A and B are shown apart, each in its own frame.
Chain A
Amino acid sequence: MIISSDLATAGSASATPTPSPLVQLVKVNKRYSNGTVALRDLSLSVNRGQFVSLLGPSGCGKSTALRMMAGLLSLSSGDIAWPDSAGAAAKRDISFVFQEPTLMPWARVFDNVYLPLRIAGISRERAAADVNDALALVGLSKFADVFPRELSGGMKMRVSIARAMVTRPRLLLMDEPFAALDEMTRAKLNDDVLRLWRERDLTIVFVTHNVWEAVYLSNRVVVMAARPGRVVDDIAIEAPYPRSADFRTSASYAAQCERVSRSLQNTLGHADIDH
């Protein structure tokens, strides 16, 4: 494993507490067997406690990078380093939220949330407190005994989040989790994720193609371009937490959205948009 010290210190010029990197992607390449280069020389360091959004057009490799961090996808070359945990142990601290709720339709909400603990070999009795805790976290305590099909899209997503939180992860990876939801539900879930992030001391890497969502949530937006997938911009979002509806309507929010939008526009390139 390459644990490069320059990379760790590179981004920490002025921040007050020395940020400690949780995960570092070092010159990661991914080429699929059909020849598509999904990622070229991607280097990205995510610090503990950060809320990082990976923003970009489809095909920019943002989901690819996320799946690699989760260990769900192999690297063609390069390295992923977990500076202060022994590789394998770090994996257990990761949770993943997919674009779809990805619930087991045959299992009740309780059992869906219990799944990670069940796989870890924890008995239902011993897990009950943690499962109920996770359900309470997303406001679904009353729905432990219903089947997923009885829930709305937003509620299913909450169950999915509860399942991710039940193992008390350090790193939460979210792959366009709210893309399929309506605007109202999305705004609500955004606030919930922010609350979880603060309450549980999480580090979150959030993949999205929505500029407004990325700016509202993150303290750092990484803009990526496609063909081949690469990082083109790394923008810090300046706004204190907790953020609320007031932030959404502020001039600062509008300005930062515009800045990120412009950066995203540049990545699209003329060839892609015009003809």
Chain B
Amino acid sequence: MQTSTIDLDATIPALNEAEQKRERRERKLTILAPLLVLVVALTAWELFVRINKIPPYILPGPILVVQTLWNSWPSLATSLMFTAKLTLSALALAVIGGVGLGTLFALSRIVEVSLFPYAVVLQVTPIIAVAPLILIYVDSTMAALLICAWIVAFFPILSSTVIGLRSADHNLRDLFTLYEASAWQRFALLLMPSALPYFMSGLKVAGGLALIGAVVAEFVAGAAGKETGLASRIFEASFRSEIPLMFAALLLVSMCGIVIFIVTSWISHKVLGHWHESELKRER
């Protein structure tokens, strides 16, 4: 009665030669094409600045930006560390708070009904409008910044966790009922794995938002205190019309965001790669 549609025989290659070639070309293309665009854009920018003899305090060329980055690296690096630390701490707290509260919401109707409206209020109020108040009432600047970044990153994790925990297949739920699973077994063996794909997409969104929250909060806080992040450096440089430094700091903020995106995508792929549709590659 063996009706195997999958063959465990590994001697037959999964892809024929032409497909392998196409696969390799495809992979090269996804790396080379954006790279080419970047090189073209940067060259055009540099040429534009040089040919038109635009002064660096109006628009610096990319070469000057990189030079500035190199020269100011020691001080920019501390700012980068500050922003990265702030963003990652906010994200970590958002994960803890979002998953914790999301779990409570999913398990207890009363908790959800009583708290959800306030979670929404937290989400829809623009952080830039609330940040000054938070900075007034919270003594430690670091804590205030952290709260601002946390508020922004928290909601996507909360809502994705709640939706995820509710998304478990109905028949599977019935199966757990039939076998008289305990509440904990139901949670650990069914609800949590079902919620993972949703949580992962929430995490990707929250990663980017945590950075935005950190930067916005710092802008509002202004360049106060000894320790300052990238946003304060941009602020500060704009006062002094050090446009190349602004670009250099901006470049680091973008890099920060890109790294967060790559890392969260990688985690998502590691966790879901072997089973979830969103991370599976379809064979042709």
Contact yes or no, B171 A100, CB < 8 A = yes
- Among B3, B6, B172, B179, contact of A185 (Cβ-Cβ < 8 Å): B3
In A69-102, which residues have CB < 8 Å from any B CB? Answer: 70-72, 91-92, 94-96, 98, 100, 102
- B68: shortest Cβ distance to chain A, in Å? 48
- A177: shortest Cβ distance to chain B, in Å? 12
Contact yes or no, A188 B179, CB < 8 A = no
User: What sequence of 0s and 1s flags, for each residue 1-45 of chain B, a beta carbon within 8 Å of any chain A beta carbon?
Assistant: 111111010000000000000000000000000000000000000
- B215: shortest Cβ distance to chain A, in Å? 36
Contact yes or no, A119 B174, CB < 8 A = no
User: What sequence of 0s and 1s flags, for each residue 194-232 of chain A, a beta carbon within 8 Å of any chain B beta carbon?
Assistant: 000000000000000000000000000000000000000
Contact yes or no, B174 A118, CB < 8 A = no
* Bound Cα distance from A23 to B100, whole angstroms: 44
* Bound Cα distance from A35 to B244, whole angstroms: 72
Q: Which residues of A contact B1 (CB under 8 A)?
A: 138-139, 188, 192
Contact yes or no, B181 A139, CB < 8 A = no
Q: In this assembly, does B185 line the interface, its C-beta being within 8 Å of a C-beta of chain A?
A: yes
Contact yes or no, B6 A72, CB < 8 A = no
Contact yes or no, B2 A72, CB < 8 A = no
Given A118-B189, A152-B5, the answer on whether A147 and B179 have CB atoms closer than 8 Å is no
* Bound Cα distance from A96 to B178, whole angstroms: 8
Closest-by-CB residue of A relative to B192 is A106
Q: In this assembly, does A57 line the interface, its C-beta being within 8 Å of a C-beta of chain B?
A: no
Q: Which residues of A contact B179 (CB under 8 A)?
A: 115-116, 119-120, 167
Q: In this assembly, does A105 line the interface, its C-beta being within 8 Å of a C-beta of chain B?
A: yes
- Classify chain A: how many residues form its interface, as a range: 35 or more
- B170: shortest Cβ distance to chain A, in Å? 9
Contact yes or no, B178 A70, CB < 8 A = yes
Q: In this assembly, does A146 line the interface, its C-beta being within 8 Å of a C-beta of chain B?
A: yes
Q: Which residues of B contact A143 (CB under 8 A)?
A: 4, 6
Given A151-B6, A188-B1, the answer on whether A119 and B176 have CB atoms closer than 8 Å is yes
Contact yes or no, B181 A105, CB < 8 A = no
- B4: shortest Cβ distance to chain A, in Å? 8
Q: Which residues of B contact A151 (CB under 8 A)?
A: 5-6
* Bound Cα distance from A104 to B189, whole angstroms: 9
Most buried by B among A67, A72, A150: A72
Q: In this assembly, does A154 line the interface, its C-beta being within 8 Å of a C-beta of chain B?
A: yes
* Bound Cα distance from A219 to B275, whole angstroms: 41
Q: Which residues of A contact B276 (CB under 8 A)?
A: 105-106
Q: In this assembly, does B139 line the interface, its C-beta being within 8 Å of a C-beta of chain A?
A: no
Q: Which residues of B contact A71 (CB under 8 A)?
A: 177-178
* Bound Cα distance from A70 to B175, whole angstroms: 10
Q: In this assembly, does A142 line the interface, its C-beta being within 8 Å of a C-beta of chain B?
A: yes
* Bound Cα distance from A92 to B4, whole angstroms: 32
Q: In this assembly, does A155 line the interface, its C-beta being within 8 Å of a C-beta of chain B?
A: yes
Given A104-B172, A106-B275, the answer on whether A155 and B178 have CB atoms closer than 8 Å is no
User: What sequence of 0s and 1s flags, for each residue 146-183 of chain B, a beta carbon within 8 Å of any chain A beta carbon?
Assistant: 00000000000000000000000101101111111100
28 A–B contacts, CB within 8 A, in A order: A67-B174, A71-B177, A71-B178, A95-B178, A96-B174, A96-B175, A96-B178, A98-B175, A102-B169, A102-B171, A104-B193, A106-B196, A115-B179, A118-B189, A119-B176, A119-B180, A119-B181, A119-B185, A119-B189, A120-B179, A138-B1, A139-B2, A139-B3, A151-B5, A152-B3, A152-B5, A155-B5, A185-B3
Chain B residues with CB under 8 Å of chain A are 1-6, 8, 169, 171-172, 174-181, 185, 189-190, 193, 196, 274-276, 280
7 further contact pairs, Cβ within 8 A, besides A98-B174, A188-B1? A98-B175, A102-B172, A115-B189, A119-B179, A152-B5, A155-B4, A155-B5
Top 3 A-B pairs, shortest CB-CB distance: A152-B5, A102-B171, A139-B1
